[in-house]
Structure 1
Amino acid sequence: MSRWTIEEPTSLDFDGVVALRTTLIAGSVCVLAGGERPSVLVDEIEGPPLVVSHEAGMLNVSHERLWEGVLTWLRSQRCRAVVTVTVPHDCPVTVNLVSADAVITGLSARTSLKTASGDVTLDGVTGEIDVGTVSGAIEAQGLDGRVAFTSVSGDLALAGGSVDALTARTVSGRIAVDVDLAGAGAVEVNTVSGEVALRVPETASAEVTLNSAAGRLDSSFPELERQDRPFGRTVAGKLGDGSGRLSVNTVSGGVTLLGRAPGDAGGFPASGMEK
């Protein structure tokens, strides 16, 4: 096994990488898919050093003495690194963060990312995508495949792409999604108080069920029927041939379902996620 202890800005190249695991406390990490030789570039580092190891194609980047570093960061905020990692597009990636931000682009294998408060940007990522956050915001575009999102108060903004399946669960985070449904694709959203805004093509085919105990329900699809009950309200029905599925369940959050006209580019207006 090759192992490096990084205490200052450094660049490393590798013969081959088949999987990446990164754990950072603070700062930022950028994971890029590229056709060049895999590499790790450390632009900035403060506090405990980073440890980079490479064995049998497994690349690991982490703070040395991780939990000691977490305590140092909690006491003084002096534990951060700015790292850029380039890997093959089909490289599975696992990223664990405390307060560091992350940018991930161009990957096509499994991507797993967990963060406490760091913000995350995903661009052109496909395949199996699993993102979990406590309060960090997730912004994504051009995703394709199966996407799972969980948060406590972190927001999700997803625009563009075609999903086979999207599951999103949050307590109070807001969710804004503008995507195509691939064939029998499914979107399932569950919130407690978080606002939900969904936009799909006007020609989408899906069985739709929107449920809220106390929040408002709005839809631009006239074929969907509304039912108000003493203990909640529902908007439901079938779009097209009903091949896909679109389901939203919330306690007090409002839900808006919009149709996108043919030729209209995906994406919500900037004001769509304003507080």
Structure 2
Amino acid sequence: MKGWKVDRPQRKVFEGVRAVRSFTVRGRVQVVGTDDSFVTIEVSEVGRHPFYIRQHEDGLLHIGHQGTSWQQILKGRLSRRHAQHAVVSLAVPRDCPLDLWSVSAEVVACDSRAGIQVHNGGGGTTLNRLSGPVEVDTASGHVDAIGLTGDVEVRSVSGAVALYARPRRKRNLKLSSVSGDISVCLPAVSDARVHLESLNGRVSSQFPSVTPVRMPGHHRAKGDLGSGDSSVWATSVSGRISLISGRAEVFGPHDMAEWE
């Protein structure tokens, strides 16, 4: 295994990378897929604590602050006095799998065909033009996604989720939250089997075929759009769920039927 210490802004190029894993506390991580066969990392900002890059023999490229592990991120063991900050941009091959972990950094990923996993605490997550399977876990950070054509699963605690999707045959979109609001925007002509459910939050839809299902203590709506070949499943405990018909920029509670 080879390792590099990064304590100032710099740019590095790596050959033979088969997967990328990052652990970031604060700052920003942006990953863009390219047609190149190599990985380019540009660190434009780095705080008092150095940033480390390690290339394993199996092709895994690991980037992050020393002593930062996924166990620490999950258990919240990174205190303010150990605050670590970095702004990092990566250009990776489009088929390179990504595993991105963050405490409160902004995470951006776009133009990839590979599988992507994002685990974010309080930072926002932005996804664009991804064709591989996508899995996101977030605590309080928002999730904004557009142009995703593979299977998608998003799990949120209190962060808001906004997804613009074009359902395709046998494609599954599964979104869940505890208290975060969920907005799903689909083209006016879509093929999807839809299930929306919130225990205490309102459920709304702009599609006439997605109708309310009366159940004591639940707000639920179901229905098929077109042939119903794909699946859109959104559930929440207390967050609002909105199904929108239109363009990606149309995210808002206007012209909807609401069911108490």
Query: TM tier, shorter chain?
Result: 0.7 to 0.9
Show the counterpart of 1:168. Answer: none
Long gaps (5+) in structure 1: 160-178
1:11 to 2:16 alignment: no
CA shift for structure 1 position 142: 1.1
Mapped contact 2:52–2:66 kept (Cα < 8 A): yes
Show the counterpart of 1:118. Answer: 123
Show the counterpart of 1:94. Answer: 99
Show the counterpart of 1:41. Answer: 42
The amino acid of 1:240's aligned partner reads G
CA shift for structure 1 position 155: 1.4
Closer/same/farther in 2, CA of residues 270 and 247 from structure 1, 3 Å limit:
closer
How many residue pairs were aligned? 248
Closer/same/farther in 2, CA of residues 74 and 228 from structure 1, 3 Å limit:
same
Higher Rg of the two aligned structures = 1
The amino acid of 1:267's aligned partner reads E
Show the counterpart of 2:173. Answer: 187
CA shift for structure 1 position 79: 2.0
Mapped contact 1:137–1:156 kept (Cα < 8 A): yes
Q: 1:239 aligns with which of 225, 229, 240?
A: 225
- Deviation digits for residues 20-63 of structure 1 (CA, Å, limit 9, x no counterpart): 11111111112122234422212121122122112333211121
Q: Distance in 1 between matches of 2:161 and 2:107?
A: 14
1:75 to 2:96 alignment: no
Q: Distance in 1 between matches of 2:223 and 2:15?
A: 54
The residue matched to 2:167 in structure 1 has which SS?
strand
Cα RMSD (Å): 3.0
Long gaps (5+) in structure 2: 255-260
Q: Distance in 2 between matches of 1:222 and 1:270?
A: 17
What percent of counterpart residues are identical? 29
The amino acid of 1:266's aligned partner reads A
CA shift for structure 1 position 233: 4.9
Show the counterpart of 2:54. Answer: 53
CA shift for structure 1 position 212: 4.4
Matching of residues 111-190 of structure 1 within 5 Å: 111-159=116-164, 179-190=165-176
- Deviation digits for residues 1-33 of structure 1 (CA, Å, limit 9, x no counterpart): 321111122221222211111111111112122
Show the counterpart of 1:106. Answer: 111
Higher RCO structure (Cα 8 Å, ≥6 apart):
2
Q: Distance in 1 between matches of 2:130 and 2:110?
A: 6
Closer/same/farther in 2, CA of residues 182 and 63 from structure 1, 3 Å limit:
same
Q: What TM-score comes out, normalization by structure 2 length? A: 0.80
Q: What TM-score comes out, normalization by structure 1 length? A: 0.77
Q: Distance in 2 between matches of 1:64 and 1:191?
A: 32
Show the counterpart of 2:257. Answer: none
CA shift for structure 1 position 210: 3.6
Show the counterpart of 2:187. Answer: 201
CA shift for structure 1 position 109: 0.8
Q: Distance in 2 between matches of 1:243 and 1:158?
A: 19
Q: 1:85 aligns with which of 70, 87, 90?
A: 90
More divergent stretch after superposition (226-235 vs 5-14): 226-235
Show the counterpart of 2:258. Answer: none
1:219 to 2:224 alignment: no
CA shift for structure 1 position 227: 4.3
The residue matched to 1:105 in structure 2 has which SS?
strand
Q: Distance in 2 between matches of 1:234 and 1:15?
A: 50
The residue matched to 1:95 in structure 2 has which SS?
strand
Closer/same/farther in 2, CA of residues 99 and 216 from structure 1, 3 Å limit:
closer
